[in-house]
Each structure stands twice: as C-alpha cells, then as structure tokens.
A and B are shown apart, each in its own frame.
Chain A
Amino acid sequence: MSRPELTGHASLFYNEKEARKYDSSSRMIGVQREITERAVELLRLDDSKPSLVLDIGCGSGLSGQVLEERGHVWLGCDVSRDMLTVAKEHEEDTKVLQSTGDLMHHDMGSGLPFRPATFDACISISALQWLCYSNSAAQNPRKRLTRFFSSLYTVLKRGGRAVLQFYPETAEQAVLISETATKVGFAGGVVVDYPNSAKAKKHYLVLSFDRSLAPRRGALGTAEQDQKQQHVTVGEALGSNKGKKQPPRKKKGIKTKEWILHKKDAQRTKGKDVRPDTKYTARRRRGKF
C-alpha cells in the first residue's frame, strides 16, 4: 500500500497489528531514525542546554529516542492508542528506565491542548500529511490544518523552531500545508532533500518566528560592517534617484578607433602578427558607387 492516508483514520490504520509491525521493522526504524536526525539538525537545538520538545505523531517513540540521546526532554502525541501502547511497552521492555519522554493520546487536527509558550521546539516525523485527508463529513482538512498551525504558533516559545517532515501526495498538498503555516504567522518554508529521487525525496517544513535571517556575529564582525556600509550607500543612491527620470544612456558606437587600437594592443601582447597603427587605422572606406 503506497498511501495509508487514503484508507481512513490514522488510528484505524495503525491498529495493534500494524503498530507492532511498524515497530519491529528494521527498515522502518532505520528510515525514521535517519529522518529524525536530519530534522533535529534542522531544528538547530543547543545540545548543551536541554530543551522541552513536542513530538507530534510520535508513534512508537522512534523519534523520541533520537531526542533522548541528545539529552532533550520530549512529549509525544499520537492519535493511535495502539502505537502509544507499543511506545509504552518499549520503555518498559528494554529496561531503559531512564526515559525523558512522556506520552499523550491526542489528535493534532483538533488543536494542541497546551498552555501558550510552553515548548522550546517541535518535531514531527511523517505525520503532517494525515491532516490533508478528512475521515468524516465533519472534518475539513483546511480547517484542521489551520487549527493545528495556529495552536502550534501559540504553544511554541518565541524564538523556537518547528521542523515537520511530511509526505505530500501532490505538489498542491505541499503548497496547502506551507501556505497555511505562513497564514497563521510562521516564517519559513519547505526544505526538500534528494529532490531528484522519487523514493528518497523528503519534505521538511521548517518553521520559525524570525522574518529575516540575522547575520551571524563573531570573527567576521568587520567584514559584516563593511557589508552593512555598502548596503546603506546602495539604499541612499536608490533613494536620491527616486522620482527623477534618468537620461537615456548614449549608445557607444561599436568599432571606434579606441576600440580597434585596444584590440590590436591586446593581440600584440599575445604575440600575434598585427598590422602597425597608421593614420589609416580605423578609417572608414569610401562609399561605393
């Protein structure tokens, strides 16, 4: 089955059997791990300062493990209770009593049930595309997406980032998702890894609050200042010309005497055999009869 989203609700697809299958497949684990590592890289978390990360669509907790190894505390939500049960068993089975994760049963399409400005970051692996499908007449994908993103906007701390990896079925879906995120106030866009491969292609929606990319400070301080200075002069030059119409530029005649002399000089420096410069050089011929 290529797209489980078309079969119905996520909690129906990821039933007990499917959840166990998912969790025991080494291929699935490998892929999910790789994606999570890339997503965490895009999050740009400071590993020396542990963060509280929200994991949306945490499934059996594969993405949480990556966050945990980096010392972050995470809270996972998933719409499939069976997946969460597997995640819980995982915690107890492997005797990893030291866990920084916590789980919650929730549907992201109904808005995130948290206080404002709670999380330092948000991650979501292969879950967002589920929001593009409605499973009942009452569900409106556009509404659910807006509800999700606007609640995400409030629960994230200012300065936080969200990286959401998803599998869009069509290009329109990717546009719909990123458009909705921008509408609620987020800055950012979609990062596509392996764009040439149909199978390995991955979409990451990277969201943040900063509207402009601030230049890095550090050793390059002086160079940066120079650049800033240039920016100012460019701006002024543009400003002073505002309203005034520039005179049309005079067309330079091609093959003028200077041009030919310059050309001949250039040929001479290359060691080519060039006719000497005389009073006849670059003179026009007499018109024919």
Chain B
Amino acid sequence: MRLLTHNALRNNAAAAKGKGFPLRITATEVEVKDSCPFDEHRLVFVEGLLSTLDWSALIEAASQLGIPTLPPVLTEDLAEDPEFLEALHHVLMNVHLIQGILTCPATGREFPVRDGIPNMVLEEEDCEHVRY
C-alpha cells in the first residue's frame, strides 16, 4: 500500500461518525522500491495532487514509517520547486507498506495490511446507514 492510498483511506463505519481519518499505521514491514519513476508526466500529477492531499496526515504517516524527508508545512514556494515535488512523489508512490496494521483514530478498529493489500472489509451491521 502506498502512502498516496493511505492519504485517501478513511474508516467509513457507522461507529466512526466520519472521523475515521487518518488511520494510524503500525508497520512491521516497509519496502522502498522505485516502482514509479519520476518524469514530467508525474510532475504534473503531483502538482495536481497538492490541492487534495491532507498534509498533516501525510507527514504523520511518513514519520510512522520512519521517513522524515518532508517539511512540516507546505508553503507556496515549495509547491513550485521541482526538487521538492520529486521528493514528495517518491514518498507518495515508492514507499510501500507491506505488512502492518491500520488503526482507526475514532473507534480503534484495526485493519490488517497483508502482502501490501489493506483489508478494509466491513460487516453489514458496521456499515454507514444511508437513507433511501
């Protein structure tokens, strides 16, 4: 699981009441591999991501995996710096959580990550209720 995915994931169970973000990572195996090389195409992609990323969640997740390369605050100067964007791309795309546990901050429910695939399956009674 990439950190990009982690930044989007949220526990949507009814008990979390929409506050199931960000999931706390307890990592037992992390792999950093050059699975997605950086180029101009990717630069455009990362630039587009800046508006939707949750920065504090990303910093927290990166530190939980032991990667301290990112600055704590995102400034406008940084958003135009290609070197910074490359570093950000590396953190988002090339750091993979292979084995570990994701914990919901609201309910404490644990979601295991096995072979790089997080298991987010909920039971029917835990699901968010919808009106129809």
Q: Which residues of A contact B (CB under 8 A)?
A: 48-52, 71, 73, 75, 77, 79, 81, 84-85, 88, 97-100, 102-107, 110-115, 117-119, 136, 138-139, 142-143, 146-147, 150-151, 155, 157, 180, 183
Contact = CB atoms under 8 A, between A and B. Distances in A.
Contacts of A151: 12, 128
A115 B54 contact: yes
Interface of A is mostly: mixed
B116 interface: yes
Given A73-B45, A136-B124, A103 B52 contact: no
Contacts, number: 115
Nearest to A48: B44
Interface string B55-67: 0000000000000
For the side of the interface on B, what is the size category?
35 or more
Given A75-B8, A84-B117, 17 more contacts: A50-B41, A73-B45, A77-B120, A88-B116, A97-B35, A98-B36, A99-B35, A102-B1, A103-B117, A106-B119, A107-B121, A107-B122, A114-B10, A115-B8, A118-B8, A119-B8, A147-B130
Nearest to A149: B130
A50 B45 contact: yes
B79 interface: no
Given A71-B41, A138-B124, A183 B5 contact: no
A151 B124 CA distance: 15
B121 A79 contact: yes
Given A114-B8, A143-B132, A146-B130, A104 B118 contact: yes
Contact of A105 (B2, B10, B120): B120
Nearest to A183: B132
A102 to B, nearest CB: 5
Contacts of A117: 52
B45 A104 contact: no
B116 to A, nearest CB: 7
Q: Which of A50, A98, A99, A136 has the most CB of B within 10 A?
A: A50
B117 A105 contact: yes
B15 interface: no
B9 interface: yes
A85 B127 contact: no
B52 A49 contact: no
Nearest to B48: A49
Contacts of A81: 117, 119
